[in-house]
Amino acid sequence: MRLVTDLFDPEPVRWGLRGDPWVWRAMCEQLTGTYLPPSVGEVERLLIATFERVAEVDLAGEAAPWVFREQFAHGGMSSGSVHLEMWRSELLPTLVDRARGKLDG
Give, for all 105 residues of the chain, the pLDDT tens digit.
Answer: 799 999 999 999 999 999 999 999 999 999 999 999 999 999 999 999 999 999 999 999 999 999 999 889 877 667 889 999 999 999 999 999 999 999 986
pLDDT at 105: 67
pLDDT at 44: 98
Find the domain containing 40 and state its range.
4-104
HEC per residue, 17-67: CCCHHHHHHHHHHHCCCCECCCCHHHHHHHHHHHHHHHHCCCCCCCCCCEE
Q: How many domains does the chain have?
A: 1
The whole-model pTM stands at 0.93
pLDDT at 74: 77
